[in-house]
A and B are shown apart, each in its own frame.
Chain A
Amino acid sequence: MKKILEKFTLLSFLIMLGLTSWSQDKTAAGKVVDPSGLPVSKATILVKGTKAGTSTNEMGMFTLTVPASAKTIVVSSVGFETKEVSIATGMMNIVLDASSSKLDEVVVVGYGVQKVTKVSGAVATVKGSDIEKLKPVRAEDALQGRASGVTVVSNGSPGAKPTVLVRGIPSYTGTDPVVVVDGAIQSLDDFNAINPADIESVNVLKDAATTAIYGVKGGNGVIVVTTKSGRKNQKTEITYNGNYAMQEVMNQIGVLNASEYAAIVNEGSVTSGGSLVFPNLSGLGVGTNWQDQIFKQAPLQSHTVAARGGSEKMSYFLSGGYLAQAGIVGGGEKSFFNRINATSNLIFDLTSKLKFITNTTYTNIKGAGVPENTINSVISNALNFDPTLPVLNNTPNTYGKYSTSKYILSEIINPLTQLEDTYNKNNTSKLYGKLELQYDLLKNLKLSSRFGYTNTDVTGKNFTPLSFYGVSHINSTMNADGTPKPGSHNSVYEYKTNYFNYTFENFANYNFKVGKNHNFETVAGFSMARVTGNSLNGSRQDVPFNSWSFADISSATGIATLSGIDLGSYQYERRNLSYFGRVDYDFNDKYLVSGTLRRDGSFAFGDNNKFANFFSGSLGWVVTQEDFFKVDFIDYLKVRGSYGVTGNENVNPQYQRISTLLYAYGLGQNAGYSFGNEPTSVGATIASFKNDDLKWEEQAQLNAGFDIRFFNNKFSFSGDYFRKDISGLLFTPTLSLYLGTASLPTANIGTTKTSGVDMNLGYTDQLSKNFRISTNITFTKATNLVTETNNGLITGGGYGIPYQSVTRFEKDKAPGYFYGFKTDGLFQSQADVAKHASQPGAQAGDIRYVDINGDGKIDGDDRTDIGNPFPDFTMGWNLSLEYKGFDFNSFVYASVGNEVYRAYERNLAMTNKFRSVLGRWTGSGSTNEATNPRYSFIDANNNTRVSDRYVEDGSFIKIKNLQLGYNFSSAALRKANISKLRIYAQARNAFTFTKYTGFDPEISGGIFDTGIDRGAYPQARSFAIGLDLKF
C-alpha cells in the first residue's frame, strides 16, 4: 500500500512536471500503415510514459504535440503489434505488423483476465473471427478441432446439443463442462440460445490451475464465453452478416431394391421351411427407396445486425439475430429450429470510479422434431421398410395417403405416414444476462458485484393422432376405413416448464507490485448460485377431428383413463455457496507462480460433507526472458506445470424417504397389507437409506506443457500433457443384507484415470505484400480407464426389440465401451460346429463366436470388449489465405479410432435388408466374413446378438468448412460510408472420408449413447452464400 502511495506521488509529480514544461513542446507527425501499405485509422499514438496522445484519422495520419524531452512514441491498434518509434522530425512512416504474436492477447480466466504471457495453466482459445468463419448454429461446433483438448461430437438434428468433452471422460454421468458467459454461470444446454455472431472469444479452461477457481463445478472443464461489447469513444459501427444455405443429406445407406428384397425374402422363407413369399419377381423392379422419400433439401439461414460504439461515459453493443434451420429429415415442416436473439451489452461509467455493466439477451426458440436415433426413428423406418410398395396408398377405400405393408405388422411403419403423424412443437423464451457493478476502491483494487441470471420458459405440445399403419399392424389405432379401433384414442400432451438460475458473485481484484519486478494479481470473493426448475404437464385424449389444428387440452374431450395419471409436475432446486481466491505472481514476466483456493458448499452434499476445498497451483518459466537464453530463431518459450483438485457435483441428496406405496415396483419397499377382505390398507415404511457422507466427485489433475514461438513469431506451438485421477464416482455400495431392503444410498466409490495430450501448431505469415497465410493444426488425445466400481457396473445404451444393452461403464475398461460377443468367421460345415465350443442352435453358415472364457460353451459370459465409441485422437486443420480482396478459409476435422455400433439394422423377416446380405454365406467356402452369415427367417444361432459384427471403424475426415470471400474496396463504398463489403460462398460438410457404411459416423449423445447408430440424424452438407457489411 505504501508503495502505491509513493507511486501516486511520483506520478502526480511527473504530470505536474509535464504541465509546467509546456513551453518546450515539439511536434511529432506521421502516417500509420499496415504491411500492405493501407492506412490504419484509429490507431493510438501515445508519448511513451505519459497519457498524452492522439489517434490517427481515416488516412492513418496523426499530429501530436510532445514535450521536447520526449524521445519515443508508442503506436498501437487492435489487430497489430504495438510498436515503439523514436520521434523523428518530419513525416514519420510507421508500418505496423499484424499481431501475429499473441503476446498482447489476454485470456479470460475465472474472475479476471490474464495476459497470455502470464498464464501458467492450460487454456485453449477460439476467437470470434474463427466462429464467424464457420457460422455454426451452435457455438460449440466451432470448438470442434479448433480448441485442442476439447472433443466435440456434433449432432445433425437442427439446434441439438453435441457431445462436448474437455479432456476425456471422467465419469459415467454429467460430463458437460460448465459454461460461463460474461462471468455468469450457465450450462452447455444454454448454447442453444447464444448467437455465435455475438461472441468475441471462447476460452476453454482445461487444467486444474485454471478450473480450480470454479471448484466443484470445474471438474469437466470450463468454457468461458465473452460476448462483444462496445468501446468508449468509438464511432458507431454497424454490421450486418447474412448467410443463406441449402442443406442436403450427404449420402445414402445401401439397402436392397424391390427385386433383390423379394429374392432374399424368398430365400429366407424357403431355408426356414416356408414357401415363396414373392412367387413372381418380375415386374417388381427397383421399387421404392424410402430414403429418397424422407430426406429433403432444407434451407438454413441466419442474419445478424449489430451496432457497437461508445461515448465518453458509456459504450454499447447491440445485436439482433435471426436463424432458421429446417431439418433434412422430413423437411422444415416437421423438424426445424428457429431462433431470434436480441442482445444489449451496455457499460456505464456512473462515476469515475463506479462502473455499471448490464448484459441482456432475449432469445426465442421455436422448434419441432421427428423421432431420431431410436428404434422407431424415421430414418430407421426408412431403412427397414418394405421396398416393393409404392409411395402412395393405391388400395381403394382404405384410409391413409401412403402405402401400408401387409407383411410388416409390428414395430416398423411407413416412414412417410410416421412423418405425417408426427406433430409436436416447442417454444422456448429465454432471458439471460448479468448486472454488474465495478468499483475502483483504489487504483489497483477493484470490487465487483455481479448478478448473472437465466430465466427460461419452455412450453410444448405433442399430439399422437389415431393412426393407420396397415390392417393388422399392431401399432394401428384405426381400422382400414379410418374408424378408431375399440379402446383407441388420440391424445395431446402439453407441458410448461420454467427454469430460473442465478449466480450472485462478489469479489475483489487487487493488483500490486513489490519492488520493481514482483508483480501480483490477486482476486478473492464469494459466490451464491441457485438453479431451479419446475414443470406442470398434462395430457388428454380425444382431440376433435383427430387433428393437430384442434390438438389442445382445452378442446379435447376425453376423460382420464383408469391406469394413468394424466397430470404431472416436478420441481427441483440446487444451491451452492462458494468462496474463492487466487494469487498470480510473476517475477519480471519470467517466473510465474499461481495459486488458487476454492471452498464450495452444496445443498446436495451430505450433512457431514457440506463443504469441499479445492486448490491448485501452477508454475511457469519464460525461458526466453533469461539473459543466458540466446537462440535466435526462438522468440518465446514458456514451460508450464500445474497440479490441483477440482470437483464434480453430480450428486443428489440421500435421505430417508417414506414410502406409502402398496407396491414399489422393482424394489420391494411396499408397505401395504390386505386385512381380511378389506381394501388394501396403506402402510408406510422407510424406503431409502441416507448417506450423510455423500460428497463430490474429485478430480486431481496434473498438467505439464510449453508454449513456443519461433521464426519471428510466425510459428507457434503449444503442447500439454495431462493426467486426471478421478475418485468419488457414485456407485451403490455393497451393504450387509441384514440392513433390509430399503433402497441403498449411492456413495462415492468409483475411480477413473484419464491422460492425454493436447497440441496446437500455428503458422501465420505475410508472404508478400498481398498474400497472407494463417494456418493452425490442433491435436487432441485422451485415454480413459475405469479403475474402480465396487464390483459394480453401469450398463447403458442399447437398442432393439427385445432390448439389447451395448455400452458399459466397468472396471478396467474404457468408459462407455461396447460389450458383446467376438466373432470368428462363419461355420463352414456341421463338422466346424461340432469342433467348436458348444454354441446352441448353430449350423453351417452361422457366425462362430469366440469362447472367451474357454469353458467350452458359448454363453453370456463370453461377451467382451468389442469396441470404443470415443476417438483415440482428433485433429483439426484450419487454413486461411488472403490475397488482395480475396480470402479463403478451410477447416478439416479428423477423428480417428472411434467405433460405431450399427444398430439401425432390424433384421426381422420381412424388413428390408442391407446390401451386405448379397454377400451372404451360401455354402461351404462361399464366405467366411462374420458380417455375412447365411440368411434364413429362423435364426436359431441368434446371429443378430450384440457382437462385433455390427461394430465398424467410424474414423473419419470431414471437410467441415470451405469458404471463399471477396472484399470490395472502392472509393464509392467509402463515400457511402461502407467500410466493409464482403461476399462469400461457403460449403459446410462438403466431404466426409470414412469407411463407415452408415450415414454419418459422428453419433452424439451421453457417454452411453455416443456411437450407437440407431438411425441418428446425419449432419447435413450445405452450400451457402453470405454477405458481410460494415458501416
Chain B
Amino acid sequence: MKNIQFIITMSALLFFGAACTKFVAYDPQEDYQITANDYLKTADDFNKMAIGVYSPLQWLYANPVIGDVASDNAVSGGENATDVVGLQQIDDYQINSNNFYFSEAWKSCYEGINRANYLHENKAKLEFTGKEALFGEVYFLRAYYYFELVRMFGDVPLFAEKRLTATDSRKFARAPKADVYKQIELDLNNAIKVLPAVNTQKGRVTKYAAQALLGKVLLYQNKFDAAAAMLENVVNGPFQLVTNFGDIFLQSGENGPESVFEIQYSNISPFYDWSNPGRGQGNLAVQMCGVRNLAGTSPYGQGWSINLPTKELANAYAAGDKRKAVTILDIEAYKTANPAFNISYLVAPYKNTGLYNQKYHPRKGETSGQVELNYLNNYRTIRYADVLLMAAEANNRATTPNDTKAQGYLNRVRERAFGNKLQNITSTGAALKQAIWDERRLELAMEGDRFFDLVRTGLAATKITGFKANKNEVFPIPQQEVDISGLTQNTGY
C-alpha cells in the first residue's frame, strides 16, 4: 500500500515536471527583441529588407579608388609609405593577400549577397503589390555584388538559394568564373523582366540600369553581339549627355539625365564611427582624394591626398578636351589662377603628382557631422556616356561589326568633350577599337573602371608598371578567407 502511494506521488511529481519543458523555451520577443521570426510579414518589411540590400553598396566606397590606383591613372599618395598600406601595395604591385581593401570588398559584397538571398528564400512568404519589381531590384543588386567579386577575384564561392547560416561556414569552394557570370546574367535578365523603366525614388534600380549592367557584364565576357543588343535598349532610353561635363559631378548633377545608376551617399544622417569609417551614409572616398590642409576660400575642402592622378593621365587629354579640368585638379595651377581664394595647402607628402581627382574632390558644405565621414557625393556607377562607349565597343567587336554605329556612339561622347565635331573619329576596325578604348579612359578616368578595362582588353601588362600577366588580372583572395574556408588562392599570390 505504502509502495503504491510512493509510486503515485513520485509519478505525479515527475509528470508535473515533464509538463513544464516549455518553461525553458525562449522567444526573444520576451525581451522585446525583433528577430527574423517577426519579420517579412508585411510589404513594408519586404521594402525595408530590400533597402537593406542596397546598404552594402555604400561600403564599397574604396572599389573605385582601387580601380584607378591599380591602373595607370593614379597613384596611391597618402601621408607616407605606411599610410593606406593596402592602396600603396596595390599601386606598387606588391600585392599580398592581407589587404584591408580586398577583405572589406569581399565581406561587403557577400553581405549584400546574403541579404539578397534572404529575400529570395522568403519570396513566397507574402504577395503584395509591387513585389515583383522590388525583387527585380534585389536581383540586380545581387548581380552587382557578384560582378564586383568576379571582376576583382575571378572564381568565387557562389550561392544564390539562401542566406548562409553559421553552419554553412567552410562549406563552399570557389565556383568557376563562368558559373558566376551565368548567375549574374540570370539575375539581371530576371530583373529586366520586372523592373520599371522609371523609378520615382531617385537612385533606385531601373530596367535601364539592369540592361546597362548586363551589357557591361556581357562585354566583360567578350559576348559582343549580346552586349550590343542589350546596350541598344539603354542607348535608346530616356538619357542624354549633360552638356557641361563638369556639371555631372556637382551635387546638382546627381541622379541627372545622364545617370543610369548611382550608388547613393548622403550627409543627411551624420556618422561618427572612426572604427568603421565606410559604414555610414557618407562617401569616404571623397575625403581620401582631397588636397591636404587646403585652406582659403575656394569651394574645395581638404582631404588626405590619396588616389592622385598621374601626369601621364593628364597628358593624355588632347588640347581642347574639356574633360581634363573636370577630371584633374592641378592645385598649384588652380592656386595661381585664383589668387582671390587665398589658397594654401600642404604638398602631398607621398607620391606627389601635384594633381588631384577633381570629379570627387571634397567640396565645402557637402558634408556634415564628422566632416571626413559624411560627404554626400554619389558614386556615378554607370553614366550614359559609359553606355555609349560600351555600345560602341560591342558594335565594333561584334561578329558582324557595325562600325558606323560604333563611330556614332563614340563621337557623341567626343562632341560633348570638345564642344565641336572637329575631333570626331572616322577610323574603323582595330583603329576604331583602340580609339574607343582610349576614349573610355579619358571619359571615365578616376571613376574606377580603368584597371578592369585594361585587364578586360588585355592591355594591362603593357600599360601598368609592375603588372604581371597571368597573375595580376585578379586580386588575391583575402588570406583570412583562404585560411578559414580552405579556398584556393589565385595563381601567383
Q: Is A683 an interface residue (CB 8 A)?
A: yes
Minimum CB–CB distance for A395 against chain B, Å: 39
Q: Tell me the residues in window 410-438 of chain B with beta carbons closer than 8 Å to chain A beta carbons.
A: none
Partner of B268, one of A655, A674, A685, A742: A674
B24 contacts A737, CB within 8 Å? no
6 A-B pairs whose Cβ atoms sit less than 8 Å apart in the complex: A445-B6, A526-B13, A658-B39, A736-B484, A739-B164, A740-B111
Q: A738 touching B172 by the CB < 8 A rule?
A: yes
Closest to A683 in B: B51
Say if the beta carbon of A30 comes within 8 Å of chain B: no
Q: A577-B23, A670-B279, A672-B51 are in contact. Are A526 and B14 (CB under 8 A)?
A: yes
Q: Are B49 and A737 in contact (CB under 8 A)?
A: no
Asked whether, in the complex, the Cβ of A673 is within 8 Å of the Cβ of B280, the reply is no
Minimum Cβ distance to chain A for residue B16 (Å): 8
Contact A689 to B276, CB < 8 A, known contacts A528-B23, A736-B172: no
**Residue A301 CB within 8 A of the other chain:** no
When chains A and B are docked, how far (Å) is the Cα of A677 from the Cα of B163? Answer: 31
Most chain B beta carbons < 10 A, residue from A576, A690, A739:
A739
Mask of B55-89 contacts with A, CB within 8 angstroms, 1/0: 10111000000000000000000000000000000
Are A683 and B48 in contact, CB atoms less than 8 angstroms apart? yes
Beta-carbon contact of B480 and A737 below 8 Å: yes
Contact call B166/A573, Cβ cutoff below 8 A: no
- Do the beta carbons of B48 and A660 come within 8 Å of each other? yes
Cα(A684)–Cα(B119), bound, Å:
11
Q: Which residues of A contact B9 (CB under 8 A)?
A: 441, 447, 508
Total chain B interface residues with beta-carbon distance under 8 A:
84
Separation in Å of the A520 CB from the closest CB of chain B?
14
- A575 on the B face (CB < 8 A): yes
* B266 and A680 form a contact (CB under 8 A): yes
Measured CB to CB, the residues of B under 8 A from A are 2-3, 5-6, 9-10, 13-14, 16-17, 20-21, 23-26, 28, 30-39, 45, 48-55, 57-59, 103, 106-108, 110-111, 113-115, 118, 157, 159, 163-166, 168-172, 201-204, 254-255, 264-266, 268-269, 271-273, 275-276, 279-281, 478, 480-481, 484-485
- For A148-173 the 0/1 string (1 means CB < 8 A from B) is 00000000000000000000000000
Residues of A within 8 A of B50 (CB): 683
Q: Judge whether A658 and B34 touch: CB under 8 Å.
A: yes
Let me know if A17 is at the binding interface, CB within 8 A.
no
**Is A735 on the interface with B (CB-CB < 8 A)?**
yes
- Contact digits for A420-457, partner B, Cβ 8 Å, 1 yes 0 no: 00000000000000000000011001010000000000
Interface of B is mostly: helix
Q: Chain A: which residue is nearest B164 at the CB level?
A: A739
**B24→A610 contact, CB < 8 A:** yes
> Which residues of chain A have C-beta atoms less than 8 A from B273's C-beta?
663, 665-666
- What is the CB-to-nearest-CB distance from B417 to chain A, in angstroms, rounded to a whole number? 27
Q: In the complex the two chains form, is A508's CB within 8 Å of B23's CB?
A: no
Q: Tell whether A679 is near chain B: CB-to-CB under 8 Å.
A: yes
Question: A686 near B58 (CB under 8 angstroms)?
Answer: no
Are B166 and A655 in contact (CB-based, < 8 A)? no
B49 touching A665 by the CB < 8 A rule? Answer: no
| Cβ of A85 under 8 Å from chain B | no
Complex Cα gap A610–B25 (Å)? 8
Interface membership of chain A positions 630-671, coded 1 if the CB is closer than 8 angstroms to chain B and 0 otherwise: 000000000000000000000001011110101111111011
Contact residues in A for B269 (Cβ distance below 8 Å): 662-663, 672, 674, 679-680
The stretch among A221-229, A469-477, A597-605, A878-886 that forms the contact with chain B is A597-605
Chain A residue numbers with a CB within 8 Å of B103 are 737
A-B contact count (CB 8 A): 234
Give chain B residues whose Cβ lies under 8 Å from the Cβ of A666.
Answer: 273, 275-276
A577 and B20 contact, CB distance less than 8 A: yes
CB proximity of B162 to chain A, nearest CB, Å? 12
From A1, A677, A741, contact of B107 by CB (8 A) = A741
- Are B166 and A690 interface neighbours, CB within 8 A? yes
Separation of A267 and B204 alpha carbons in the complex (Å): 66
The 8 A-B pairs at the shortest CB distance, nearest first, are namely A676-B202, A683-B51, A674-B266, A671-B52, A685-B52, A526-B17, A683-B52, A684-B48
- List residues of chain B with CB within 8 A of the CB of A526: 13-14, 16-17
Task: Tell me how far the C-beta of B259 lies from the nearest C-beta in chain A, rounded to whole angstroms.
Answer: 11
Contact check, B110 vs A740: say whether CB atoms are below 8 A apart.
yes
B198 CB, nearest partner CB in chain A, Å = 13
User: Chain A's nearest CB lies how many Å from the CB of B103?
Assistant: 7
Evaluate contact between B31 and A656: CB separation under 8 angstroms.
Answer: no
| Known pairs A442-B6, A686-B118, A739-B169; A572 contacts B280 (CB<8 A) | no
Closest to B48 in A: A684
Supposing A441-B9, A665-B273 touch, asked if A674 and B2 sit within 8 A by C-beta, the answer is no
- Report the Cα distance A741→B55, complex, angstroms: 12
Find the residue from A524, A662, A691 having the highest chain B CB count within 10 A: A662
* Residues 402-429 of A contacting B (Cβ, < 8 Å): none
The reply to whether B170 and A673 contact each other, CB–CB distance below 8 Å, is: no
A663: B residues at CB distance < 8 A: 269, 271, 273, 279-281
Q: Which residues of B contact A524 (CB under 8 A)?
A: 10
Contact B481 A736 (CB under 8 A): yes
Are A737 and B202 in touch, CB under 8 angstroms? no
Other-chain contact of B3, A1, A740, A744, A747 (Cβ < 8 Å): A1
CB neighbours (8 Å) of B113 from chain A are 740
Given contact pairs A508-B9, A676-B201, A685-B115, A737 touches B276 in the complex (Cβ within 8 A): no
Q: Which of B52, B113, B169: most chain A Cβ within 10 A?
A: B52
B51–A684 touching, CB < 8 Å: yes
Q: Are A676 and B48 in contact (CB under 8 A)?
A: no
